[in-house]
């Protein structure tokens, strides 16, 4: 994975710090605001429920009073009198409940016999003669009204009902009078802004219209109440707007908030619009701050990165330039701090490096000249000594011939002369060869590139040495080719390449005086071809390997030290590389890596 | 005697009659109104009590001499239309020809009528649709005791349904009151009467007992208005079961406050004489037995309550309860005449226009769009025809209602009951006492 840059890390660090801080502050502020809103909602709900209870009690007293008025009216007394007849006929009282309801301004008025038969009903006149569901002929406490559930033609409603007996003789007729606990009742409550109250029956089935509250939510809200809870809460989403509902259980009987059967619930809805708007505003502002902080972090990190990393980048570029051989590279010193100190040290280091390199080059140059001189002296001394001996022999033979003046002496002189001149010529030829080799190395021609079949070139080069491999039966050399068919052709000067291979093969033969094995191979890489020459000779010591390609360096007694230097020169001219691996006593392998095309070699370099 | 003198007819005054909003349609157009049409438009003959035919515009008749069987009707003298034109034989013949009869004028006082169908000619001539009227310029004039006043004062336009003025040139002499105003009084016309805003009020039957309790005089017709539940999407068997489930007696006793008659037949018992053969007792167990397997087919069944007819609304609610007791889950919908998508029942009033069972059955057959069995000549034939009609027509009879009028203290009548069996008011026989002389 690519390492993250300093500026990126700096940006990340600053951004994370800023964003984290803003997020933390926003979260804390949101939580605090939400808590405040929730607390306020709870307080307002409590106040609303208290208001509801007060209104419930007030209306209950009013209903009880009006039910009492109905029960004591002469019309109801007539009904009670009729009830005492052996076969009472209540038909004429059919409309009585409606009239009483109108008089007392109570929407719910029913007259019921002791066995629950409806004599007259204001809210559902057609129920005349039917049984009143759930009716019990038991009086309620005087002056009170009870919470109950009343059947209406179009469903059920919660109702506040006064229940009064009217007894004449042995018979009792019951007056049930009251008013529904409906929206009209709720409208009398003073609601804080954003709050509303709803009433639902326990069945919930006919309450779908309750303020658009979805049935599923209503069921979920009522479920805890059915299990006996007195309060349940739920956040409901109605047409995209959140509302917090608190459901307060309403039970049958005088104590509407506990006791009898669960009849319904008072739902106190509190719009979360303001709360959510506040939270959304906080989040929005948080996001704005975060955005601004991010931009600030970006700017600061950019500025800091520029300030800190620019010298470092310059240093890195300088280091890269130095590694590429530009020893004179210097970086600008921008400051006096640690980075500035580092830049100064870098400059000092490169200056020292350049100085040392110059000294090294100079010393190497001197050493090379010394070596050259030593090699030249050594190479030239060898033939010069026989020359000197031969000339001295020739002088001595001439002196002997002149002293003897005899034909024999002359004949001996001639013989010595002939022998000496041939020796002189041979040594002079030897000298010439030595000089030619030095001259050849000095005059390495530039390569003339053409497409060359690598494997064919290897075969040809090896074939030249066939006779030499078999020359010494005592020390036979076996040559093996391990060629990669995919090696193909490369851009190369075939003559120079043959020369390099010849030198490598000669070295290999020289390394195996006792005979051995030579392995010549090729292998295709992605953009290059590898040529290898491996011998099973004596190998090269590590300290020798380091100087192997230095001109005039040789490990052999009679070598010029130019062979591998020539190989390296050829490979370098082909933009290739040469490697050597060797193990003392086990053999040596030279590997030439040559680019497929000179274009590829240039790219690689 | 002072008492006798105070009851002598008095001419003059405006008679105001208050009716329920729901009844306004009965009076709005005299040409179509069975209640007041006879006061504006008259016929050659008319039905009297007990359905007897009486001479009216024609004073007498005889078979004409000639090759064809024609009846010659002699007109009364001095007949005039409300526009003042003379109503002679030519005008009558023209009017009757327009009503589809073949007739000609003979002289100025005789109209020759040729019967074309087996229908008794004299009954035809007594039907409302054979009234004598003169039509010109999109106006229609009759010869009756009252003429229609076209103009209505702007202030009363929203409440006045019809104004009738006394026709001074009526052949019987002008009626007692100068003008009759029929006004709409919301849902409580009796209140208008008790408040002195009306002299006569058409009383909703459910209020009659209470009005009577308060001492008001009531004029009742015989039960001539049939309340039926029209059924939609119910099989004949469902209809029978629904009929058995209906508690007609409770409806009549409580909702109708004892007025009218509970009825499971189309014709009232007083008219047919066989109404008792159609039992009205509620039989919930039998109905429940039938509906036991029909809940799915009748799922969502509704009873439609007409919003502007409180009585029918209450009865609809009761019908729903009764069907509920028989095992059906029934909704009550406040719906207009458009009906409901599923099976439903809708209550409707049907007014009978004839005292003759056969004629009444023909009328019902037409109104219920159900053909009749042919033979209506014998009482047995009429009974069987009604059975057939009841089996075929998608209706359940509930009750027959009378027309009931509450009478104000100033209003007097020259006859004991100025409402005939079919509920027609004879306003021409009424007069108003002077203010303050009523008590």
**pLDDT tens digit sequence for B342-351:** 788 999 999 8
Report how many Cβ contacts below 8 Å link chain A to chain B. Answer: 43
Q: Does residue A193 have a pLDDT over 50?
A: yes
**A90, A127, A154 member nearest B321 (Cβ):** A127
Identify the weakest region by mean pLDDT among A2-11, A349-358, A520-529. A2-11
Q: Does residue B175 have a pLDDT over 80?
A: yes
Q: List the one residue out of B102, B314, B73, B66 whose CA is nearest residue B207.
A: B314
B173 touches chain A (CB under 8 A): no
B285 touches chain A (CB under 8 A): no
pLDDT at B3: 40
Closest Cα of chain A to B26: distance in Å? 26
pLDDT at A556: 62
Closest Cα of chain A to B161: distance in Å? 29
How confident is the model over B101-118, as a mean pLDDT?
A: 83
CB contact under 8 A, B254 and A154: no
CB contact under 8 A, A92 and B318: no
How confident is the model over A565-587, as a mean pLDDT?
A: 85
A90 touches chain B (CB under 8 A): yes
Q: List the one residue out of B100, B135, B105 whose CA is nearest residue B121.
A: B100
pLDDT at B157: 57
DSSP bridge pairs for A582: A588
pLDDT at A72: 92
CB contact under 8 A, B254 and A130: no
Helices and strands of chain B, counted as H and E runs: 14, 23
Closest Cα of chain B to A130: distance in Å? 9
Confidence of residue A204 (pLDDT cuts 50, 70, 90): low
Q: pLDDT exceeding 70 applies to what percent of chain A?
A: 91
How confident is the model over A363-382, as a mean pLDDT?
A: 74
Task: Give tens-digit pLDDT for A219-276.
Answer: 888 888 888 788 888 888 877 788 888 888 888 865 555 567 788 888 888 888 888 8
Task: Give tens-digit pLDDT for A426-475.
Answer: 888 878 877 877 777 676 777 888 899 999 999 988 888 888 888 788 88
CB contact under 8 A, A95 and B315: no
Q: Reduce the secondary structure of B48-114 to three states and give it as a string.
A: CHHHCEEECCEEEEEECCCCCCCEEEEECCCCECCCCCECCHHHHHHHHHHCCCEEEEECCCEEEEE
Token match 């004073």: residue? B59
**B257, B321, B332 member nearest A91 (Cβ):** B257
Which residues in chain A are contacts of B325 at CB distance < 8 A?
130
**B254, B325, B332 member nearest A91 (Cβ):** B254
As for the ipTM of the complex, it is 0.80
Q: List the one residue out of A381, A467, A450 whose CA is nearest residue A597.
A: A450
Confidence of residue B5 (pLDDT cuts 50, 70, 90): very low
How confident is the model over A171-193, as a mean pLDDT?
A: 87
Residues A458 and A521: their CA atoms lie apart, in Å, by 8
Pairs from A483-487 (Cβ < 8 Å, separation ≥ 24) = A483/A455, A483/A458, A483/A459, A483/A521, A483/A522, A484/A455, A484/A521, A484/A522, A484/A523, A484/A524, A485/A455, A486/A524, A487/A454, A487/A455, A487/A522, A487/A523, A487/A524, A487/A529
Which residues in chain B are contacts of A127 at CB distance < 8 A?
321
pLDDT at B152: 63
Chain B (71-90) residues lying within 8 Å, Cβ to Cβ, of chain A? none
pLDDT at B142: 94
CA angle A28–A31–A37, rounded 5-degree value: 140
Which residues in chain B are contacts of A205 at CB distance < 8 A?
none
Task: Give tens-digit pLDDT for B378-433.
Answer: 888 899 999 999 999 999 999 999 999 999 999 999 888 888 888 888 899 999 98
How confident is the model over B175-198, as a mean pLDDT?
A: 89
Task: Give tens-digit pLDDT for A100-133.
Answer: 999 999 999 999 999 999 999 999 999 999 999 8
Which residues in chain A are contacts of B250 at CB distance < 8 A?
91, 128-129
CB contact under 8 A, B257 and A153: no
pLDDT at B1: 34
Q: Does residue A208 have a pLDDT over 50?
A: no
CB contact under 8 A, B247 and A127: no
How confident is the model over B70-92, as a mean pLDDT?
A: 92
CB contact under 8 A, B317 and A126: yes
A417 touches chain B (CB under 8 A): no
B206 touches chain A (CB under 8 A): yes
pLDDT at A119: 95
Average pLDDT, chain A: 83
What is the DSSP annotation of A533-552? EEE-SS---HHHHTTTTSTT
Q: Does residue B249 have a pLDDT over 80?
A: yes
Chain A (123-152) residues lying within 8 Å, Cβ to Cβ, of chain B? 124-130
CB contact under 8 A, A89 and B250: no
Task: Extract the tokens encoding B160.
Answer: 């006045």
**A95, A124, A128 member nearest B250 (Cβ):** A128
How confident is the model over A304-329, as a mean pLDDT?
A: 80
Q: Does residue A182 have a pLDDT over 90?
A: no
Chain A (154-193) residues lying within 8 Å, Cβ to Cβ, of chain B? 154
**B253, B320, B325 member nearest A91 (Cβ):** B253
Identify the weakest region by mean pLDDT among A217-221, A347-351, A384-388, A553-557. A553-557
Which residues in chain B are contacts of A95 at CB distance < 8 A?
206, 210, 257
* Range picked from A40-44, A266-270, B64-68, B236-240 for highest mean pLDDT: B236-240
Confidence of residue B118 (pLDDT cuts 50, 70, 90): low
pLDDT at A214: 76
How confident is the model over B234-248, as a mean pLDDT?
A: 93
pLDDT at A183: 78
Task: Extract the tokens encoding B5.
Answer: 């003198």
pLDDT at B153: 63
Are A519 and A584 contacting, i.e. CB atoms less than 8 angstroms apart? no
Q: Does residue A351 have a pLDDT over 90?
A: no
Closest Cα of chain A to B332: distance in Å? 7
């Amino acid at each position: 994975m690519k390492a993250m840059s300093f500026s990126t890390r700096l940006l990340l660090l600053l951004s994370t710090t800023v964003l984290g801080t803003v997020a933390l502050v926003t979260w804390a502020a949101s939580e605090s605001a939400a808590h405040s809103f929730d607390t306020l909602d709870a307080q307002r709900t409590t106040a609303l429920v208290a208001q509801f209870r007060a209104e419930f009690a007030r209306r209950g007293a009013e209903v009880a009073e009006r039910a009492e008025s109905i029960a004591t009216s002469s019309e109801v007394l007539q009904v009670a009198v009729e009830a005492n007849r052996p076969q009472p006929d209540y038909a004429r009282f059919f409309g009585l409940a409606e009239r009483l309801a109108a008089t007392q301004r109570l929407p719910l008025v029913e007259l019921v016999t002791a066995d629950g038969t409806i004599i007259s009903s204001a809210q559902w006149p057609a129920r005349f003669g039917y049984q009143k569901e759930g009716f019990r002929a038991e009086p309620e406490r005087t002056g009170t009204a009870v919470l109950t559930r009343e059947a209406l033609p179009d469903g059920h409603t919660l109702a506040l009902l006064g229940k009064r007996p009217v007894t004449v003789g042995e018979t009792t007729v019951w007056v049930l009078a009251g008013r529904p606990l409906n929206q009209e009742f709720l409208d009398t409550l003073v609601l804080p802004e954003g709050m509303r109250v709803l009433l639902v029956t326990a069945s919930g089935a006919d309450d779908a219209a309750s303020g658009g509250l979805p049935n599923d939510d209503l069921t979920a809200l009522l479920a805890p109440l059915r299990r006996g809870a007195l309060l349940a809460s739920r956040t409901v989403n109605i047409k995209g707007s959140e509302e917090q509902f608190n459901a307060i259980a309403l039970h049958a009987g005088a104590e509407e908030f506990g006791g009898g059967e669960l009849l319904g619930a008072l739902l106190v809805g509190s719009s979360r619009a303001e709360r959510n708007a506040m939270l959304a505003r906080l989040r929005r502002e948080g996001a704005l701050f975060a955005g601004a902080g991010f931009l600030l972090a970006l700017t600061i990190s950019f500025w800091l990165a520029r300030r800190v990393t620019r010298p470092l980048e310059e240093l890195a570029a300088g280091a890269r330039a130095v590694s590429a051989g530009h020893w004179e590279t210097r970086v600008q010193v921008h400051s006096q701090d640690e980075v500035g100190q580092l830049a100064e040290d870098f400059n000092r280091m490169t200056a020292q490096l350049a100085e040392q390199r110059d000294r090294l080059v100079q010393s190497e140059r001197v050493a090379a000249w010394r070596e050259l001189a030593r090699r030249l002296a050594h190479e030239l001394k060898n033939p010069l000594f026989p020359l000197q001996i031969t000339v001295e022999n020739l002088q001595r033979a001439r002196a002997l011939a002149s002293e003897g003046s005899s034909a024999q002496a002359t004949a001996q002189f001639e013989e010595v002369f002939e022998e000496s001149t041939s020796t002189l010529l041979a040594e002079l030829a030897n000298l010439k060869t030595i000089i030619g080799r030095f001259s050849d190395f000095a005059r390495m021609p530039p390569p003339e590139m053409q497409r060359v079949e690598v494997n064919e070139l290897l075969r040809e080069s090896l074939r030249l040495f066939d006779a030499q491999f078999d020359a010494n039966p005592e020390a036979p050399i076996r040559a093996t080719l391990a060629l990669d068919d995919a090696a193909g052709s490369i851009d190369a000067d075939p003559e120079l390449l043959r020369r390099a291979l010849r030198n490598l093969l000669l070295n290999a033969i020289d390394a195996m005086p006792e005979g051995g094995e030579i392995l010549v191979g090729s292998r295709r890489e992605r953009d290059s071809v590898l040529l290898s020459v491996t011998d099973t000779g004596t190998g090269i010591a590590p300290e020798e390997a380091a100087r192997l390609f230095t001109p005039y360096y040789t490990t052999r007694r009679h070598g010029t030290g130019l062979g591998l230097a020539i190989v390296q020169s050829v490979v370098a001219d082909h933009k290739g590389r040469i490697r050597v691996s060797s193990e003392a006593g086990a053999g040596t392998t030279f590997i030439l890596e040559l680019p497929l095309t000179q274009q590829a070699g240039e790219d690689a370099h | 005697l002072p008492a006798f003198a105070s009851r002598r007819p008095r001419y003059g005054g405006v008679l105001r009659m208050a009716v329920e909003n729901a009844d306004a349609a009965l009076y709005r157009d005299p040409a179509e109104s069975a209640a007041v049409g006879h006061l504006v438009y008259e016929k050659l003959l008319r039905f009297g009590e007990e359905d007897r035919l009486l001479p009216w515009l024609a004073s007498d008749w005889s078979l004409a001499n000639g090759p064809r069987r024609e009846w010659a009707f002699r007109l009364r003298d001095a007949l005039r239309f409300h526009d003042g034109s003379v109503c002679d034989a030519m005008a009558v013949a023209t009017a009757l020809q327009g009503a589809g009869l073949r007739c000609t004028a003979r002289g100025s006082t005789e109209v020759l009528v040729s019967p074309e169908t087996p229908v008794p000619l004299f009954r035809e001539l007594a039907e409302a649709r054979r009234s004598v009227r003169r039509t010109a310029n999109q106006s229609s004039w009759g010869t009756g005791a009252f003429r229609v006043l076209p103009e209505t004062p702007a202030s009363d336009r929203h409440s006045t349904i019809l104004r009738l003025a006394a026709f001074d040139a009526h052949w019987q002499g002008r009626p007692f009151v100068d003008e009759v105003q029929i006004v709409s009084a919301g849902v409580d016309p009796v209140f208008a009467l008790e408040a002195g805003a009306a002299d006569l009020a058409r009383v909703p039957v459910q209020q009659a007992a209470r009005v009577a309790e308060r001492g008001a005089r009531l004029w009742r017709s015989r039960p001539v208005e049939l309340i039926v539940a029209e059924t939609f999407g119910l099989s004949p068997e469902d209809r029978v079961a629904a009929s058995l489930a209906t508690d007609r007696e409770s409806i009549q006793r409580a909702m109708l406050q004892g007025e009218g008659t509970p009825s499971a037949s189309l014709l009232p018992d007083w008219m047919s004489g066989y109404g008792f053969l159609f039992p009205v007792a509620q039989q919930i167990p039998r109905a429940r037995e039938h509906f036991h397997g029909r809940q799915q087919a009748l799922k969502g069944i509704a009873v439609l309550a007409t919003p502007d007819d409180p009585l029918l609304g209450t009865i609809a609610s009761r019908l729903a309860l009764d069907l509920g007791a028989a095992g059906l889950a029934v909704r009550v919908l406040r719906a207009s005449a458009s009906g409901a998508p599923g099976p439903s029942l809708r209550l409707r009033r049907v007014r009978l226009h004839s005292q003759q069972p056969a004629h009444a059955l023909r009328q019902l057959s037409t109104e219920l769009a159900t053909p009749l069995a042919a033979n209506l000549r014998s009482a047995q034939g009429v009974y069987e025809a009604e059975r057939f009609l009841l089996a075929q027509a998608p209706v359940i009879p509930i009750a027959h209602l009378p027309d009931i009028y509450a009478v104000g203290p100033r209003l007097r009548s020259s006859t004991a009951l100025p409402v005939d069996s079919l509920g027609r008011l004879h306003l021409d026989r009424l007069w108003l006492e002077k203010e303050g002389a009523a008590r």
